[in-house]
């Protein structure tokens, strides 16, 4: 087990993006937490509500699927995942502890996503850092700031869900 000093000196890296040429909606988090990193899975903390919230957005039960099926199902529905922070020092999992971060090349990724229309930020830190990276290019996309799916953000599930369900419009604009 790492001591607190060792843990704070360890740089944590995000996962590869989960996108394809059909991605219309990209959900950007800040940086995976400890449990997600340990499992090598986006939103791997069982207390994180991400998979429940996205189940409501796409009207399919992602929670009961294997991780690989969850990712494929998101892609099949035009949804991609990535993080704003490429790498950072962060003791623990709280976004407020992110230090000395390097940003992902969001604009480079977006250039390869011809159908991308909506960028959704999962939480305030992701939005604050991501919008800084996007700069003036943010105006090219529909930007949605979502309450964090993290258990550290104590807004009720019902309140989170009502805001996350707005992403349905990004996937089905005519509905």
d(C-alpha 143, C-alpha 8), whole Å: 32
Q: 16-171 belongs to which homologous superfamily?
A: Uracil-DNA glycosylase-like domain (3.40.470.10)
The pTM for the full model equals 0.89
Percent of the chain past pLDDT 90, that is, above it, reads: 63
Over residues 111-141, the pLDDT tens digits come to 999 999 999 999 998 999 999 999 999 999 9
Q: For residue 59, what are the contacts with CB-CB under 8 A and spacing of at least 6? A: none
Closest by alpha carbon to 33, among 113, 88, 111?
A: 88
Query: Could you confirm whether 48 is annotated as catalytic?
Result: yes
35: exposed, middle or buried (C-beta count within 10 Å: 0-12, 13-18, 19+)? middle
State the catalytic residue, choosing from 45, 48, 104, 122: 48
């Amino acid at each position: 087990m790492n001591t607190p000093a060792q843990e704070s000196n360890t740089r944590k890296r995000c996962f590869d993006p989960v996108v394809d040429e059909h991605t219309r909606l990209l959900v950007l988090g800040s940086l995976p937490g400890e449990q997600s990193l340990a499992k090598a899975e986006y939103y791997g903390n069982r207390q994180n509500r991400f998979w429940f919230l996205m189940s409501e957005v796409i009207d399919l039960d992602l929670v009961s699927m294997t991780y690989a099926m969850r990712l494929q199902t998101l892609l099949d529905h035009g949804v991609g995942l990535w993080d704003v922070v490429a790498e950072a020092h962060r003791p623990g999992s709280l976004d407020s502890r992110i230090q000395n971060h390097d940003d992902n090349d969001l604009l480079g990724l977006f250039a390869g996503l011809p159908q991308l229309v909506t960028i959704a930020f999962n939480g305030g830190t992701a939005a604050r850092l991501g919008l800084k990276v996007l700069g003036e290019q943010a105006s090219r996309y529909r930007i949605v700031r979502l309450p964090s799916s993290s258990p550290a953000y104590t807004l009720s599930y019902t309140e989170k869900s009502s805001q996350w369900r707005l992403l349905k419009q990004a996937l089905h604009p005519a509905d």
